[in-house]
Structure 1
Amino acid sequence: MYAVAVNVAPIFLLILIGWMTVKVKLFKAEAGDVLSDFVFKIAVPALIFRTLATADFHGASPFKLWLTYFTGVAITWAAGQLVTRHVFKQELRIGVIAGISSAFANNIFIGLPLVGRSVGSDGIVAISILLAVHLPIMMIAGTILMENASHKVTGGEKRGTLAVLRQVGRNLVQNPLVIAVVLGLCFNLSGLPMPLVMMTVIDQISAIAGPTALISLGMALTKYPIRGNLRIAVTMTAFKLILLPACVWVAAHALGLSPAWTAALVLTSCVPTGINSWLLANRFGIGHSVAASTISISTLFGVLTVSAWAWLLS
């Protein structure tokens, strides 16, 4: 258990440090936005590129990995949406926000550092492959479901699925994570050696990706207070921290994933809710309190559940 604590505790301590820097007014909350941009556009892409450019995939197929993870996501999202609709008697749009809050893991800011510390390079390879499709699939599904829900509730104009896919496709072409995945795989397939100077610079940037991501997340959490719809938020937190990783674990064993990839997927699925659920709520103007409360509560209790899952996997 001590070895687990050594890997997990620094993750949440760095989040706490970031949160405290804003609370004691050492930095303004806006500084976290700049730091997050650096993480998303430079640091994490550098880490993903380096990992995939030098990885040995051992002939493993990414399709089992994707199927494993998104089986868990589908079950958890459906459970979150149905419970919110039929147990808590909320309208359809709130149900969609609750569902995505229960199933959208913070893979970039917490998942990558956690897997890197706990699993190592094989785990980073698995998460990099997951990140290539995670954000697109989650945002496409969330946008389509929210637009359908809004149309049913308010009767407003509904965009077609093709229009949503076109918009997401345009965004993906400019997405730094997707670009890093493509470039890393192309470099890997080329068989070319990476120049020493280039490797040194990329290594130095990659080394700060994890700590910087966690500190910037802590700074961002000051924007997501715990308020309103607490019963829903607590339930979605339980789904996020317990149900999702349990489903991923079962699917990984059923599909015969390697121990390293299984550990990587379970660990990244058990981390707290990502801020994208709040961004979706903000875009459609509803469900802010559910998303914000779930993000903060899941982060608060995440240290316990992440430690428990890490211990079980070890």
Structure 2
Amino acid sequence: MWAVFLKTLPFFGLIGLGWLAARTRFFPQEAANWLTRFVFYFALSAMLFRFAAGLDMGALFDLRFVLAYLSGSVLIWLIGMAAARSRGLALPEAAMEAQCCMIGNTGFLGVPMLVVVLGERAVGPVLMVLTIDLVVFSTLITLIIHASRNGGLRLASVAPVFGGIIANPMIVAMLAGLAWGGAGLPMPQPLDEFLALLGAAATPGALFAIGASLAGRKAQRLAASAWLGFAKLVLHPLAVGVAAFFIFGVQPFAAGVMVAAAALPVAGNVYILAEYFNVAQQRVSTAILISTAASIVTLPVVMLLIGQG
């Protein structure tokens, strides 16, 4: 346990450093926003492109893996939705809470941490989880909120949002990398070194940006947010673990990566959606804060259990 904790500690140390810098106002919020933008559009995209260019579709897409992750995630999504509706919440708020229960910070935290800790074999499974989260569940919540507010779905109002999902730099980078590798194009050394150099900024930049963004969050609506954090850190990895290991028979290493990805804290992009739709911002913000802090302990435990089989 101690060895696993020490492996993950530097990553959370960078998050803590970002939090401290922003909390003391040495690193203003505006700077955190621009750092996030740099990581999102440049550094992380370069890392994902380089990773994807070295894969083939067989390494990225495995039907049993997809079905296991989808079934476990949908189950937790439905539990989150049912729990919210039982408290009398409107459909958009319930959908946003359900999103918190199973969308992890795979892009900014999972890709850097899991690939470093678990090795480059983790690239394919991590990218598959990231793709499902971005495409399937971002689309799902968009459809639900638009339908509930407009009395049904209208293409004119939904199409721009779908366009934004498809144009997400992480999706574009992964698709471009897969196309490059699938076409058998060589990776010139200067380009490879450029991507490696730019991509190397993704890990420290993303983690520092996570910490800086947490500094501006206040703990409010604690009971509801604590439930969302528990669902994300405990129930989600448990559900996908059962589906992967016992129902669909996913290859053990890929299943372990899936469970580790499911154990990540609530993603910052859920808050972006909450802000965009003006739904449950306080609960989402606090859930991100609580789950990120708690994952310092829970994530090493999950990775230790995976390592022990």
* TM-score, L = length of structure 2: 0.92
Query: Can you list the C-alpha shifts for 1:38-61, whole angstroms capped at 9, x where unaligned?
Result: 111111111111112123666673
Q: How does 1:16-27 map to 2 (within 5 A)?
A: 16-27=16-27
**Shift of residue 148, structure 1, vs aligned partner:** 3.6
Query: Can you list the C-alpha shifts for 1:244-279, whole angstroms capped at 9, x where unaligned?
Result: 011111111122222232122111111110122222
Counterpart residue number, 1:117: 116
Q: Of 251, 259, 269, which aligns to 2:252?
A: 259
1:79–1:164 CA distance, 2 compared to 1 (3 A): farther
Q: CA RMSD in A?
A: 2.0
Query: Can you list the C-alpha shifts for 1:7-65, whole angstroms capped at 9, x where unaligned?
Result: 21112111111111111121101111111111111111111111121236666733333
Answer yes or no: is the 8 Å Cα contact 1:46–1:206 preserved in 2.
yes
Opposite residue 49 of structure 2, the aligned amino acid is: F
**Shift of residue 146, structure 1, vs aligned partner:** 2.1
**Shift of residue 127, structure 1, vs aligned partner:** 1.5
Answer yes or no: is the 8 Å Cα contact 1:123–1:263 preserved in 2.
no
Counterpart residue number, 1:75: 75
Answer yes or no: is the 8 Å Cα contact 2:92–2:279 preserved in 1.
yes
| SS of 1:78 mapped into structure 2 | helix
Answer yes or no: is the 8 Å Cα contact 1:119–1:260 preserved in 2.
no
Counterpart residue number, 1:189: 182
Measured in 2, the distance between the counterparts of 1:179 and 1:65 equals 22
Q: Which moved more, 1:290-299 or 1:90-99?
A: 90-99
Question: How many residues in Structure 1 have an aligned counterpart in Structure 2?
Answer: 306
Q: Percent identity?
A: 26
Counterpart residue number, 1:167: 160
Counterpart residue number, 2:225: 233
Q: Which moved more, 1:15-24 or 1:273-282?
A: 273-282
1:251–1:222 CA distance, 2 compared to 1 (3 A): same
1:271–1:9 CA distance, 2 compared to 1 (3 A): same
**Shift of residue 165, structure 1, vs aligned partner:** 5.4
1:165–1:132 CA distance, 2 compared to 1 (3 A): farther
Q: Which runs of 5+ in 2 are unaligned?
A: none
Counterpart residue number, 1:99: 98
Q: How does 1:1-314 map to 2 (within 5 A)?
A: 1-55=1-55, 61-86=61-86, 88-149=87-148, 151=149, 157-158=150-151, 160=153, 162-163=155-156, 166-228=159-221, 230-253=222-245, 254-314=247-307
Answer yes or no: is the 8 Å Cα contact 2:56–2:178 preserved in 1.
no
**Shift of residue 118, structure 1, vs aligned partner:** 2.1
Q: Which runs of 5+ in 1 are unaligned?
A: 152-156
Opposite residue 135 of structure 1, the aligned amino acid is: L
Measured in 1, the distance between the counterparts of 2:303 and 2:125 equals 17
1:128–1:303 CA distance, 2 compared to 1 (3 A): same
Answer yes or no: is the 8 Å Cα contact 2:103–2:266 preserved in 1.
yes
Q: Which moved more, 1:18-27 or 1:272-281?
A: 272-281
Answer yes or no: is the 8 Å Cα contact 2:111–2:126 preserved in 1.
yes
* TM-score, L = length of structure 1: 0.90
